[in-house]
Amino acid sequence: MRDVAVIIPTLRRPEMLERALRSVFVQTGSLDRIAAVVIADNDPQGSAAALVERLRAEAPVPLTYAHAPVPGVATARNIGLAATDAPLIAFLDDDEAASPVWLAALLRAQAATGADVLFGPIRGRVPDGTGWTTAYLERFFGRDGPAETGLTGDIHGCGNSLMVRATALPGDAPFDTAMNETGGEDDRLFTALQKRGGRFGWAADAWVDEFAPPDRATLNYALLRAFAYGQSPSQIAADRRDWLGVARWMMIGAAQAGVWGLASLVLSLLGRPSRAETLDRMARGLGKLLWTRGFEPKLYGAAMLRRID
The pLDDT tens digits for 229-276 are 999 999 999 988 999 999 999 999 999 999 999 999 999 999 999 999
Spatial separation of the C-alpha atoms in residues 299 and 308, rounded to whole Å: 12
Compute the mean pLDDT over every residue in the chain, rounded to the nearest whole number: 95
Q: How confident is the model at residue 178 (pLDDT cuts 50, 70, 90)?
A: confident
Q: Is the pLDDT of residue 75 over 70?
A: yes
The domain defined by 4-211 folds into Spore Coat Polysaccharide Biosynthesis Protein SpsA; Chain A (3.90.550)
Task: Output the CA torsion sign for 153, 247, 140, 9.
Answer: positive
Residue 300: what pLDDT?
77
Determine contact, residues 142/124, Cβ cutoff 8 Å: yes
Could you give the C-alpha distances from 82 to 67, 76, 85, 116, in angstroms and in order?
Answer: 11, 10, 7, 19
Helix (H), strand (E), coil (C) string for 193-227 = HHHCCCCEEECCCCCEEEECCCCCCCHHHHHHHHH
